[in-house]
Structure 1
Amino acid sequence: MVSYPDSQGAERSLAIRRPPSVASHSSRASTVRRHRPHRSHFGGTSYQPQNEFPVFTHTGDVEIVISNGRKEQRYLLHKLILTQCSGFFEAGTSDEWAHAGEAGNSQNQNAALARIPEAQAPTEKKRWRYELDWGGEDDVPMLIQKDAPTLFGGDALSQTQPPPPRNKPPAPHAGFFRSMANFSSLHVPATQQDPDDDTFRDYDNLFRVFYNYPPTLDPINIANAYVECKSLLQLGDMYDALEVIGPRVDHHLLRFQGRLWKQIAKYPPSYLKLGYLARSKAIFAEAMVHVVGQWPQGINQLRGQTPETVMELIEDKVDEIDELKAKIEGKLFRLTLTTSRGERVTPSNNWLDWMAMSLFRQWLAENTTPPPAPILKSPRAPPSSRNGELPVPPPPSPAFNTGRVFRLLGTGGSSYLAHDECKRFLRLSPEQYNRDNLKRFERRVDEIKNLAKDAVKPLMRNFLELDLGSQGGGLPYLTCTRVDPQDFPWDE
């Protein structure tokens, strides 16, 4: 109703007729209007603060900034979670650490408190702030604690200024010729990745694991998964969080099952180090069997890169196998055949059978003894030394490993001393060579092989998860190393 005075001072009313739609929905519109969310002055709904990973606006008290000048990742996490998962954060947010820098910040804090009216002084809430310090080219990026103002409620992200950008040149762009090549082949040029993407990924995985989220690791390509897991473990080691990171890495890699065991067989020293960091008993034990069987092949990849306890465990296991091999070698050299009357075969009672025993012992001696060192002559100096430069040393000879020989002994049959070898050996004595003697000779050699096969059974045990049948005839080294529960070096 719109009213206005008339000429006589009386008041008249003019009824404004509403459209039917407005009139019929007036009450509902008023109800909707009362419950409609507030809108900002710029249109759209108002900003709702995030209170979930990675930014807990209402409850977070530790701000972490990962920035390189081109991109930035911010976290607002909880001291309680960080200190439970990481010894680094436990020390950095402790009272002892805070008291160490209290003297330098006391004046600034007192000045901030003086500006707050007494009537508005709320309860103090401690905050911490960390920024990633990239250091030099050869330095490892590390989180550094920065001075964070003591806030009295409110949003830490809204009251703190963003960190200064990192003084680092931008990522290089693809060259002109590469772009033209892509253009000519009608392919869209590949996006240049930031060289620091791996660092951002690793820190994000670190905090995701802290909050019981699965890390973003490659679930298909095991080679990529290894690189990502290794990088995450190194980060966990740096921040004293391996107890939390290790089980996640172990769980992810074990999902590859058979492919994992094949990868460990290809790179046992690398996976031994990874298994140690991850505290993975399955990966560590699998890699240890390969490392000991191939020893000393992987010594350069492990010495100085693994704890002394791991090196001592390897050496102990190698000594155990060497002692077992020496014991079995003695049994093999004492193997003998007997005559029909139960007597030991000698040159005087059965020349042909004794020849079969001699052939086996000669083959065993040649294959279990390192080859003699070559006789070095004194030829003319190589050109490099004649010109005043140091001569290039010859490459070292490969390590002598008798595992292959024992594998052959454990296989038996025609894997060694086959028909051709027996025939060639018997022909050295023309008076003994004929078809009947050759058949008898081969039968006696097979008898010795069967005795040898029984003798080497302790060395033929396999403690690998790997299916040896998939390796095309097995491995050329022994896999009888057993890692017992008390052997794991992190349980000490």
Structure 2
Amino acid sequence: MSAVSMASAPKSKFPEYLDGDVLLILSSTQQFKLHSQVLSTHSTFFAQEIAAKPAARLTAQARRDHAAAYRFEYVPTSQPDGIGKWVRKDLNSEGRIPRNSMPLMPDFANGTASNDNPTHKAWEWLFGIFYNREPAFVNNGLVAIVSEIIVLMEVADSVGSTDHVRDVVDLTLLRQDRLLWNSIMNNSVAWLELGRRVRSPTVFSEAAIHLIGQWCTLPENVKEQVSSDLRPLIERKADLLDLEKEAIEMRILGHYPQFLLRTAAEKPGRPSYANDIYMWMSVSFFRQWFAQNVSDDRTRRAPDGGLNFYTALSEGGQAYLSHTDFQEFHRFFPMSIKACHVVEANMGVFKEDIKPLVEGLMVENTHLKRADCRTITWLTCATVERDELPWQTISADAGNEGRTGDQSLQNLYAELDKENDNAAMLAQHDRNKKLRKRSKPAAAVAPAPAISKPTSSTSTSGPARRRKRLRVIEDDETEDEFGDGSGLFVPEPTKHHNGDRMDEAE
């Protein structure tokens, strides 16, 4: 092909492709010639319309002239801000309508053709997105961008193309970065509704997380601004967060350092437990401090939802129960200098055990972090799953979602209770087994460790020797020397050997 013929060849590009088989008449001054396969892939409306009736059977001359086999005309709505509809027109073999179509109204404004119609601009952007063309939003601030995005989403929704536009909208909003996140944080209620309108998972989730974190402390008039169909989601998530905080507080109050735990096989006694006295003092001191915070409503009932309290627990160290607090404690309960250091060191170990318990509450699922914005005084650990977004298909069991979430925490409580019951049963079993080993083989009903007087058969063998008085094990004695480590010396039962009675060892 010569250079002259190549230069004279018509161009094939958006919005009019030479091989396009669908002609879309938007107005008297704007039209598109696109591909039916592309439209059917990106729009449920066009897919149904194209499949409903076969394409026009074009003549050879019409095909050489690149005539379209489908024709759609846009019919505006009578409402000022409404979105019109596309109407398919029948074509003859020449690619023309068989009779005169209703003439399209020229898009004039004050006698001049208008190229600033926001709806027409949105249609051009939508069809461009089908061909991977990015919309040219006016970068005159967040308000202008959002206004254009809303119109784009409305036209996309009218032809069933929202799924293909959502990522473009998200990307456009994300480019606003900190300006967007600050706006969502300061006006979460408005952005929650806006995120639903533009169907942006990022924007909707960001606004929802901010609302969930401060829902319990928001004034009622602010809560009433949330749409009635969105409020149940926020309330359910806020209740789940509150239950999670309650469960974590229960775990903290019931926590014991691992090295304090014993098993019955170890035969623990007072000498063994005496080594843990400083840790028990630390546990007692911590629980007194924790109870005081609960009493003063500084935990989950605090105005900040417990943010400062849980943050202190996650930081540990000197964030709470500092060295100054211990000095005040020892002013009323004096101890040696070494003992003071040991108690404080044990508290440090206990604080490290507490940190993992509150890790989940410290997660920040918002783009704007507390380190960058000190005005965020609430927890942002909530999550909004994709199937919880309001524009997703809601199953028949949607009403049970809240109860399902609540039940999961109730099951957690039940599991904890079951573990405690099993531990108690195991401890009782070990105690019974231990008592059976210490009892006489031939004993039938004699309860241990009661001490009875010698029977008549034993008294006839000779005068009974005076029994030793029970005595408490001292700190310098070991449990292996005396009994079971319970603090009492229990004499062994009387034994007979070759007719001679053997009393307990001196």
TM-score (norm 1): 0.52
In structure 1, the partner of 2:14 is: 53
Judging changes above 3 Å, is the alpha-carbon distance between structure 1 residues 200 and 444 closer, same or farther for their aligned structure 2 residues?
same
Judging changes above 3 Å, is the alpha-carbon distance between structure 1 residues 222 and 456 closer, same or farther for their aligned structure 2 residues?
farther
In structure 2, the partner of 1:236 is: 156
Contact persistence 2:316–2:355 (CA under 8 A): no
Offset of residue 260 of structure 1: 5.9
In structure 2, the partner of 1:342 is: 276
Judging changes above 3 Å, is the alpha-carbon distance between structure 1 residues 448 and 473 closer, same or farther for their aligned structure 2 residues?
farther
Judging changes above 3 Å, is the alpha-carbon distance between structure 1 residues 236 and 223 closer, same or farther for their aligned structure 2 residues?
same
Residue 464 of structure 1 pairs with residue 365 of structure 2:
yes
Contact persistence 2:253–2:287 (CA under 8 A): no
Residue 163 of structure 1 pairs with residue 97 of structure 2:
no
* Structure 2 counterpart of 1:324, from 230, 236, 244: 244
Judging changes above 3 Å, is the alpha-carbon distance between structure 1 residues 164 and 413 closer, same or farther for their aligned structure 2 residues?
same
Residue 128 of structure 1 pairs with residue 29 of structure 2:
no
Judging changes above 3 Å, is the alpha-carbon distance between structure 1 residues 82 and 342 closer, same or farther for their aligned structure 2 residues?
same
In structure 2, the partner of 1:409 is: 313
Amino acid at match of 2:276: G
Contact persistence 2:252–2:354 (CA under 8 A): no
* Structure 2 counterpart of 1:303, from 201, 206, 227: 227
Give structure 2 stretches of 5+ with no counterpart: 56-66, 261-272, 396-506
Contact persistence 1:124–1:153 (CA under 8 A): no
Q: Over aligned residues, Cα RMSD in angstroms? A: 5.6
Offset of residue 130 of structure 1: 1.7
In structure 1, the partner of 2:299 is: 368
Residue 84 of structure 1 pairs with residue 53 of structure 2:
no
Amino acid at match of 1:368: T
Deviations, residues 60-81 of structure 1 (Å, cap 9, x unaligned): 54433258xxxx5444545554
Amino acid at match of 1:143: G
* Distance in 1 (alpha carbons) for counterparts of 2:171 and 2:372: 25
Deviations, residues 245-272 of structure 1 (Å, cap 9, x unaligned): 1232234445566766666555556666
Give structure 1 stretches of 5+ with no counterpart: 1-34, 38-44, 99-122, 172-193, 372-398
Offset of residue 242 of structure 1: 1.0
Deviations, residues 216-264 of structure 1 (Å, cap 9, x unaligned): 1357955644443343223322331112212322344455667666665
Contact persistence 2:122–2:152 (CA under 8 A): yes
Offset of residue 273 of structure 1: 5.8
Contact persistence 1:66–1:74 (CA under 8 A): yes
* Distance in 2 (alpha carbons) for counterparts of 1:94 and 1:443: 78
* Structure 1 counterpart of 2:351, from 433, 450, 456: 450
Contact persistence 2:237–2:382 (CA under 8 A): yes
* Distance in 2 (alpha carbons) for counterparts of 1:353 and 1:327: 19
SS of aligned partner of 1:408: helix
Q: How many residues align?
A: 356
Deviations, residues 111-137 of structure 1 (Å, cap 9, x unaligned): xxxxxxxxxxxx99553322222x235
Deviations, residues 157-206 of structure 1 (Å, cap 9, x unaligned): xx8685235798789xxxxxxxxxxxxxxxxxxxxxx8964333322212
Residue 65 of structure 1 pairs with residue 26 of structure 2:
yes
In structure 1, the partner of 2:134 is: 214
In structure 1, the partner of 2:267 is: none
Amino acid at match of 1:248: V
Offset of residue 326 of structure 1: 0.9
SS of aligned partner of 2:359: helix
Contact persistence 1:128–1:145 (CA under 8 A): yes
* Distance in 2 (alpha carbons) for counterparts of 1:212 and 1:369: 48
**Equivalences for 1:171-190 in 2 at 5 Å?**
none
Amino acid at match of 1:136: Q
In structure 1, the partner of 2:421 is: none
Offset of residue 325 of structure 1: 1.0
* Distance in 2 (alpha carbons) for counterparts of 1:299 and 1:86: 37
TM-score (norm 2): 0.51
In structure 1, the partner of 2:213 is: 293
* Distance in 2 (alpha carbons) for counterparts of 1:486 and 1:221: 31
Amino acid at match of 2:46: F
Judging changes above 3 Å, is the alpha-carbon distance between structure 1 residues 219 and 240 closer, same or farther for their aligned structure 2 residues?
same
In structure 1, the partner of 2:382 is: 481
